[in-house]
Amino acid sequence: MTVPFHPPQGPLVEAGWLRANIDHTIVLDASVTRVPGPDGTTGFAPGLAAFEGGHIRDARFADLFAAFSDPGAPFPFTMPTAGQLERAARGVGIDNDSTLVIYDQLNGAYAARLWFVFIAYGFRNARVLNGGLPAWIAAGGAVDRGAAFPGTTEGNFTAASRADLLVDTPMVLNLVTSRDSTHPLICGLRHAQFFGAGSSDRRLGHIPGSHNLPYPDLLGPDGRLDAARTIQAVAALNLPSHCAPILYCGGGINAAGLALAMAAAHLPFGRLYDDSMNGWIADPARPVARNGGSITP
Checking if the pLDDT of 174 tops 70, the result is: yes
- The count of C-alpha atoms lying within 13 angstroms of the C-alpha of 256, restricted to the half-sphere facing its C-beta, is 24
Distance CA 225, CA 73 (A): 31
151 confidence band (pLDDT: 50, 70, 90): low
Domains of the chain: 12-144 (3.40.250.10), 166-296 (3.40.250.10)
* Nearest Cα residue to 259 out of 166, 131, 125: 166
Residues 6+ apart with CB under 8 A from 249: 187, 188, 189, 215, 255, 258, 276, 277
Checking if the pLDDT of 96 tops 90, the result is: yes
Q: What's the rounded mean pLDDT across residues 200-217?
A: 90
2 confidence band (pLDDT: 50, 70, 90): very low
pLDDT of 87? 97
DSSP class of residue 30?
-
Distance CA 210, CA 288 (A): 10
* Nearest Cα residue to 137 out of 203, 79, 55: 55
* Nearest Cα residue to 58 out of 165, 146, 188: 146
pLDDT of 40? 63
Structural contact between residues 217 and 211, judged by C-beta atoms closer than 8 angstroms:
no
pLDDT of 1? 39
Checking if the pLDDT of 278 tops 80, the result is: yes
Kindly report which listed range (27-41, 66-80, 162-176, 246-260) carries the lowest average pLDDT score: 27-41
Residues 6+ apart with CB under 8 A from 109: 215, 253, 254, 256, 257
Q: Higher confidence at residue 147 or residue 157?
A: 157
114 confidence band (pLDDT: 50, 70, 90): very high
200 confidence band (pLDDT: 50, 70, 90): low
